[in-house]
Amino acid sequence: MKKATKKEIEEIKKRLIEHYPQAKTELHYKNLYQLLVAVILSAQCTDKRVNMITPALFEKYPDIDSLAEADVEDVKELIKTCSFFNNKAKNLVAMAKMVKEKFNGKIPEDEKELVKLPGVGQKTAHVVMIEYFGKNLMAVDTHVFRVSHRLGLSDAKTAKKTEEDLVKAFKTDLSAVHQAMVLFGRYICKAKNPKCDECFLTEFCKSKDNFKAS
C-alpha cells in the first residue's frame, strides 16, 4: 500500500478538522462517571445501542458508590442487549469497587491509573481522556483503523501500532483528529458501501479501486 506523503497528511488533517469542528462523542453522558461507563459499554457495540441502555442503568446506579454495591446479575439484566454483557457487567462493578477502595471514590484522571481499572484498556482510557479532558492523544477504534488504512496513514496490523503511526503522522490536535475520524468513518467512509460521492478526501484514498459504486 502506498503511504500518504507529509503534504497529504497535513491536508487530510486540515480537512477533517474543518469538516468536523468541535466534534464530540455521540455517547450520552453528564459527568466523568457516566462517560467512563458508556465507553466501557461501547467496546464492540454501537454508540446508538449504548445510548439506549444507559438511561435505565444510570437511573438505578447514578454514581460510583451505588455501582460498587450493585448485584452483577442485576447489571447484566440492565445491559443484556449490549455485546459481551456478561463480562462488561462484571467489569463495571469491579471498576466501581476499585475506584471506591483504591482511589477514594474518585475516578483517576491519569492514564496510568485509569488503565488499572477493570474493563479499561488503553483505547478506553484514551477515549475518556480525549473526550473529557481534551488530551492530545489518539485512540483507534474500528472506524479510525479503517480510515487510517484507506488513506494510507498506516499499514499496521494492530490498533496499537496504527495509533503509533497516527500520533507520528499528525503530532498535534490529536483529540480533534480522532473525533473527526470516528465520525468520518461512521457516516462516510463506512465498512460496506462507503459514500465515496460524499467524501471530501477522495484524492487521498488508496483503496477506492476496491470499492464498487454504492
| Residues recognised as catalytic | 123, 141
Residue partners of 123: CB distance under 8 A and separation at least 6: 43, 139, 140, 141, 159
Using left for φ > 0, alpha for ψ between -120 and 50, and beta otherwise, residue 173 falls in: left
Would you state the cell numbers that stand for residue 121, as one nine-digit string? 484498556
Using alpha carbons, select from 180, 118, 102 the residue that is nearest to residue 147.
180
Residue partners of 153: CB distance under 8 A and separation at least 6: 3, 4, 9, 12, 147, 165, 166, 169
Which one-letter amino acid corresponds to residue 10?
A: E
Which one-letter amino acid corresponds to residue 73?
A: E
Residue partners of 6: CB distance under 8 A and separation at least 6: none
